[in-house]
Structure 1
Amino acid sequence: MSLNDVSDRADAGSTRDWSCYTTPPAESLELFDAVRDVRPFARSEEHQGFHMLLSYKDVRKAMSDYRTFSSEPQVLRPMLPRKPIPALEMDPPRHGHWRAIFNGAITSRTPESMEPFLRADIRHHINEFIERGRCDIVREIAEPVPAEAICHMVGIDEENVPEIRKRAIAMFAAQGDPALFGQRQAEFGEVTVAEVHARKRAPRDDYMTALAGMEIEGQPLDDDDYVVLLAAFLGAGHHSTTSAMASMIYEVFSRPELRDRLRAEPALIPRAIEEVLRLRPPFYGFFRRTTKAVEIDGAEIPAGEDVYMGWAAANRDPAVFDRPAEFDMDRENSRHLSFGFGIHVCPGAPLARMEMKVLLEELLDALPDMHVVSGKPVYQFGGGDYCYIPEVQVAFTPRPRLD
């Protein structure tokens, strides 16, 4: 059976114009659910055409098979004028060489070593609004804290963090416009590559200095390499963590009974975090390209075809998750795919989980009656299947500044 034969069945045209640039997140989730009830995959004609995997079983299996589903040339569409994102857009053996760069920056000890700095940063930001009794918690905390954490981890000077964060946001927002993206990437490179060159002139005991002297595959890194590497650090470590933090704050602090339960039983916080990540993945999925013909549920996808790994759809597959559209902290199975799967699983996942945990602990302790006042959030796509909440307004009893 051909894939087109399958796609011509009931509700065939519903995904033909789908992409993160044509359909907002809420409608996308509804569409994924409707199509999955009929077939486990679909097709869109956006971005020169691609197939869509929507079931947990198919997405997980494809993500684990890098030999058939290649991460090259890029995992986002449309294709952009840039070097491949190190490791993320590379298959073995190149993947292993570049993955080592991230493994050197984020080790098993990194979350523990970073936690004291993170708590200090979070308390500093809380003190900026704790006496007011109301704020946009995304702007005040979820946006700046992850960027500060990543910059601290790699050794970027604190005074440069706001400008780097600003240019990173602008670059990621331009994912859908190749020409504009190239301009924004160059602007991002102006400030980040300057940091690397400064380390070459005056080495320090930090990761940026190590990066400045690295060789990969027998060649020294060049400025373009530094740009894509630092963009990868900030994209994964800042952009996605900001989205996850904002979703966590909404899900917990829009439910007073859940907020109070977590205050009474903080050991349950990791379970709440996993359910947030399942329900509200920061990225809805990435693309792969087939290296050979492959059969999925009785239909053949030819070699050289683009295939979308629908993480958000897989995370809500009713064959795996009971009542998948509901937030249920007591869910027994939370094996979500929000950090990817297989050799390309996010190396910063333990750090992101630690950041979310510490933030929730600090907010529950400092603002015990904080609650969401802005209503149900409207999620948006911010380019490259990145999904986020622009703002979450919260209110609480004004309190003295923290010590």
Structure 2
Amino acid sequence: MNKTTEGFGDWSCYSATPAESLALFEAARGCPVVHSEAHDGFTLLLDYKAVRKAMADHRRFSSEPQVLRPMLPRKPIPALEMDPPRHSAWRAIFSKALPPGTDARMEPFVRADIRRHLGRIGPTGACDIVKQICEPVPAETICHLVGVDEAKVPAIRHAAIKMFAAQGDPELFGQQQAAFGALTIGEVHDRRAHPREDFLTSLVGLEVEGRALDDDDFVVLFAAFLGAGHHSTSSAMASLIWAVFSDATLRNRLRGDRSLIGQAVEETLRLYPPFYGFFRRTTCPIEVNGAEIPEGRDIYMGWAAANRDPEQFERPHVFDIGRASTRHMAFGFGIHSCPGAALARMELTVLLDELLDALPDLSLDGPAPAFAFGGGDYCYLPSLNVRFTPKLIVEAV
């Protein structure tokens, strides 16, 4: 059997766990390309150089019509699923919400939110920290950023989680997107009647591509903000806690030297990217690693595999906060790289800093959890039980 197809068959995130997927990726190291018959067939790129080169080439590797499979009954995600020239106009909307310095401006809000949650769980001595901190904090951050009232955050967050989880079922996704839209469209409509000094008000009457944004546009914009800003950051937070607090030596080293926190964040993102990859579609015949790929072929950009490429990273499976190269693919690459990367890095840094201060003996409670796929190639920890010495944590005034 051709080594480029052996073992993959109909691989997708719906037919294999993250652990099984990583094992398949490693077994295919050295193959020019790998093929799967899932989703009407696609080609996988797994080595770092090929993935990075393809991600930088939007002319031959198109982000249209969608970057996830199966195809869903929805409008394209603004900017993410658009090529130039459309891409620039829609990307500008995110740039307006995330101007330079946003991470520094938002840090006090993030720190206050984390301390509030820590104040609630501190006296208990144990909790599922995914539920108590990793899920709510990124959603609160995004809602602070765009102007959603805090009281509405839980309902919007839960509706978004249900919508993202339905990625594999087009009919169910349509239903969940409608429920999500019923909540989020109301926020923009409210700004028409009651303008505020916030980002949502700036969307009212905004014209892109010669027309005003409509309700469908608002839904996909909200989904993009929450998908990138909440969903992926929540995953990264849980992975960071798991990686650091499952190793007492590493935890104590970071407590003593906070300058290493940034490296711990980057290693977490490299080894445990929230998304294992996105799809592209070839716009012309292409040769990759000596393999001919026809026009119109779906190509999977294997970020998780690229992040563990031994040609790029020495001892790639080791969590090493002294690693020299941090050029991972967790935020993508090229014109579609994540516009909120600096914000996410800040949230992760603040979270770890606060945990090391408030709960210095925090450790895992029970066996190591299993990563799961949920809603496309989104990889996450469904739960993470931790324990610590009960402590009264007083919020800073």
TM-score, structure 2 normalization: 0.98
1:17 aligns to what SS in structure 2?
coil
The residue identity in structure 2 corresponding to 1:189 is G
Matching residue within 9, 12, 23 for 1:16 = 9
The aligned residue for residue 188 of structure 1 is 180
**Structure 1 stretches (4+) deviating beyond 4 angstroms?**
none
Q: Distance in 1 between matches of 2:175 and 2:273?
A: 28
Q: Distance in 2 between matches of 1:139 and 1:207?
A: 28
- 5 Å matches for 1:160-239? 160-239=152-231
**Residue 38 of structure 2 corresponds to residue 34 of structure 1:** no
The residue identity in structure 2 corresponding to 1:99 is R
Q: Distance in 2 between matches of 1:138 and 1:366?
A: 17
The aligned residue for residue 304 of structure 1 is 296
Structure 2 unaligned runs (5+)?
none
Query: Is the Cα–Cα contact under 8 Å of residues 64 and 83 in structure 2 kept in the other structure?
Result: yes
1:13 aligns to what SS in structure 2?
coil
Query: Is the Cα–Cα contact under 8 Å of residues 67 and 81 in structure 2 kept in the other structure?
Result: yes
- 5 Å matches for 1:1-400? 8-10=1-3, 12-37=5-30, 39-400=31-392
2:386 aligns to what SS in structure 1?
strand
Q: How many residues align?
A: 395
Q: CA deviation at 1:11?
A: 6.7
Q: Distance in 1 between matches of 2:366 and 2:230?
A: 24
Q: Distance in 1 between matches of 2:250 and 2:147?
A: 37
Q: CA deviation at 1:400?
A: 1.3
Q: Distance in 1 between matches of 2:355 and 2:99?
A: 27
2:281 aligns to what SS in structure 1?
strand
Q: CA deviation at 1:109?
A: 1.4
Query: Is the Cα–Cα contact under 8 Å of residues 156 and 183 in structure 2 kept in the other structure?
Result: yes
The C-alpha deviation readout for 1:198-234, integer Å capped at 9, x for no partner, is 0011100000000122110110000000000000000
The C-alpha deviation readout for 1:109-133, integer Å capped at 9, x for no partner, is 1111101111111011001110011
TM-score, structure 1 normalization: 0.97
1:43 aligns to what SS in structure 2?
strand
The residue identity in structure 2 corresponding to 1:307 is I
Structure 1 unaligned runs (5+)?
1-7
Query: Is the Cα–Cα contact under 8 Å of residues 374 and 392 in structure 1 kept in the other structure?
Result: no
Q: CA deviation at 1:374?
A: 2.6
State, as a whole percentage, how many aligned pairs show the same letter.
63
Q: CA deviation at 1:12?
A: 3.0
Q: Distance in 2 between matches of 1:402 and 1:261?
A: 25
Q: CA deviation at 1:41?
A: 1.7
2:34 aligns to what SS in structure 1?
strand
